[in-house]
Amino acid sequence: MEKKSYYTVQELSENLEKLIKSSPELQDVTVVGEITELKRHESSGHAYLTLRDKNSTVQPNRRAILQCIIWKDVFKKLPFSPKPGDEVEARGSVRLYLPQGSYNFLISSLRYFGEGQLLLQIEQIRRKLYAEGLMDFSRKKPLPVFPQRIGIVTGLTTAALRDILKQLKEGHPGLEVIIAPAYVQGEGAVRSLIAALKKLSEPSMGVQLIILTRGGGSLHDLMPFNDEELCRAVAACPIPVISAVGHQIDRPVCDDVADYAAATPTEAGRKLAEEALQLKDALAYLSHRLELIMSHRLDSLRNKLSHITRHRFFQDRAELFRERYLYLSDLYRRMDEAYRGKLRLLQMSLSKSEKIPLYFERSFDKLKAKVQIAGERLLAYSPLRTLERGYSIVKQGKKILRRKTDVDFSTNLEIVLSEGELKAKPLY
């Protein structure tokens, strides 16, 4: 075919357009770059942006840029809102725009590149679990106040495990710790972590609290703790779970679904240790307070007992019961005289009657009955029994008052009750 001596502008541009469309290196390809400019047309809804290499070593005057277009329908379906500064992965095709003699890149899909894409995935998982209520505060289980046995899910050689055990040894030495080893990064980490979590949550293990932990690392290293399946296992665990992953700046999704999120593994161990120390201090304080209260109570009872025993009621009880003692002595004297008189009569008449033994027996029964009646009467006359029935003894000094005329109205009265006594001022 003879080569033309010249081409028109239209012919050259159309030939170039055909070459672009037929080249596999320019159609349905992926380009990675940083968005430097982005503008969305208000009326059409299309977006226009500029891409360039983020860390290019090419001289500024030689640095390439790529003009890109995202049609309205494509832009509406994007999983995020792109903005200048984002490093993105754009898929599309190169086209030549004949009226302006320029080429641009028609984007068919767009996503974050590298860590940006991972962050998008994490955010999507977080929003999904939040919408299902797995992050609601109301569903979080309270941590045990003073656990006796806990479980730790982590790698056996991790710094996180050493940090936690150090804190527990210093602040909670009596705590029993069961370690369920697991992979904390890389392939198989998610399955390993879930298996360890389920093992510790078995009732036979007797674990009251589980710590899920690992130290800091890159976003890729921490991705197992953002996995949806692991997060659901944490949320469904019947045992309270503390998530202690990474450093303070890290916030994996498992932190949001766990019952408590510690900023670091050290903080998780310190929290348990501090709670144990606080409880011990509280128990020591209460024990000291109880000792003081009991000591004061005993002192008070001793003082009351001492006061009671020094009371005139006990010191002068002989005076109070003197008359009753005299009455009892007189009663026994008369009974003795009567008995002796009867005995003499019986002796004198012993030979005169055959009925004397029967008479003696009956006389003895009568005397016995009299003694019994006298004893009951004496008990009824006891001042203590009288006081228990609601009566009282009124005294002035050592004198027991029986009549109003016995009262000295210039001196206070002492009223003895069944329990305790009162002082009163006599009135006319």
Residues contacting residue 422 through CB under 8 Å, at least 6 positions apart: 414, 415
Stated pTM of the model: 0.51
Distance CA 88, CA 105 (A): 14
User: What is the DSSP code (8-state) at residue 39?
Assistant: E
* Strand segments (E) across 324-426: 393-396, 399-400, 413-416, 421-424
Question: 418 is written with which tokens?
Answer: 């069944």
Average pLDDT over residues 143-158: 90
At the topology level, CATH places domain 9-113 in OB fold (Dihydrolipoamide Acetyltransferase, E2P) (2.40.50)
End-to-end CA distance of the chain: give it in Å, rounded: 155
What pLDDT is stored for residue 92 in this prediction? 94
Scanning the structure block, which residue is given the tokens 């916030």? 251
User: How does pLDDT run across 210-232, given as a tens digit for each residue?
Assistant: 999 998 888 888 999 999 999 99
At the topology level, CATH places domain 120-277 in Rossmann fold (3.40.50)
Please count the residues of the chain: 428
What pLDDT is stored for residue 133 in this prediction? 94
Question: 39 is written with which tokens?
Answer: 């503008």
User: How does pLDDT run across 280-319, given as a tens digit for each residue?
Assistant: 666 667 777 877 787 777 777 777 777 766 665 555 555 5
Residues contacting residue 9 through CB under 8 Å, at least 6 positions apart: none
Residues contacting residue 152 through CB under 8 Å, at least 6 positions apart: 161, 164, 177, 178, 179, 180, 210, 211, 213
User: How does pLDDT run across 235-286, given as a tens digit for each residue?
Assistant: 999 999 999 998 877 789 999 999 999 989 998 988 887 766 666 666 667 7
- DSSP codes joined into one string, 105-163: EEEEEEEE-THHHHHHHHHHHHHHHHHTTTT-GGGPPPPPSS-SEEEEEE-TT-HHHHH
User: What separation in angstroms does the CA of 44 have from each of 66, 75, 80, 104?
Assistant: 21, 12, 20, 18
Distance CA 207, CA 200 (A): 7
Judge contact between 333 and 341, C-beta under 8 A: no
Beta bridge partners of 90: 31, 110
User: How does pLDDT run across 88-105, given as a tens digit for each residue?
Assistant: 889 999 999 998 888 999
Inform me whether the pLDDT recorded for 369 exceeds 70.
no
Give the CA diameter of the chain. 190
Distance CA 299, CA 346 (A): 66
Q: Do domains 9-113 and 120-277 have the same CATH topology?
A: no
Domains of the chain, by residue range, sit at: 9-113, 120-277, 389-428
